A and B are shown apart, each in its own frame.
Chain A
């Protein structure tokens, strides 16, 4: 909380960014995002940024369900698959324009997510996690066995997205598709949590019986949380389909579900900026480890084969360290830094 500000109207007090410092920080962040591809001008960093952007959308989606509503889900990978395959199939097999498939895929995923949210009526915590694990396996089974539609275990090739006769899915161009959608996702989510919908989600997480007695239809709102969450997860999936021009089931296994859970735990549960931090961290860490491994290749023999194991081990280690040292995630560290500078130079 930034002190020393007095709000004269409820409207300004209820704004998303309440102080000039917060607005400045957001402005700087947007400027960074806009300038980044022009300044670095190399495809690899832009590729990484695109990965982060897509992961952020997926992580915000998962955070709505897990962090804000308290419904643990292991179905993230499968829900992303629904988005990716819907978008891919619509374009590849039915010729639907790529930009139109993105909202359609998000809506389809929302419906599928709400459907698989039905067990949340009776189940909580670990039991619900197991039920969503079943959803993960069922959906992936359908994807790999419904050959006529999905192509089964073979990759689904998606024609490149075109605009004015030009392919859009170069790293530089698709950056301008992904990042505005990251902004939109963050804005819509932030708005949601300023209204009764978001408060109902959090109320269910904190005290579901009290929520019910306050007049919140807990089951309906849980399904809604599954739906809204899956909408954004499906959006991320659709972006993957059109960015990579290829959809394969291997990208959407239980490992992806666990990776995204790690992302929001490390970034910060129930936080939009935390979702971004987690997405960035979990995208950059493996990239960093791979590069370190390559650099050491000449120095230490056999490094090549070790890299995948080192990656796995460091992932696990990082997650464990976070759980022990900073259970509230990167967002909490960022909060502490902000608080420090809010009073600076008069900090004591």
Chain B
């Protein structure tokens, strides 16, 4: 299946992926309205250490420990994608306790949030990938 892969060599640390993610998931059409002045809480985040920067989002593991650990049955794997049912999630943070990548974060609502490869955003490619100026984030089969 296609996944998001990140190459830290090419990452500029520009944080555009974070903005594109937040915009794509905001449900708001107007980018200015969605982002201006807003404190964004995206499902992908840039980590920086010295000169190195890279983006981290859900790895959609083959054998996802978050799904196995979820105490509310909110996390599941559908067609290879680790999905979250926000309706079921009660924000206990067990998934944050176990995710080896730090890819699941609290959200502004009661539930946690994570990358779902933009499947619900009616775009053909995840927003972070599409907007990455240096192709450090790609969406492909490996």
A and B: bona fide binding partners:
no
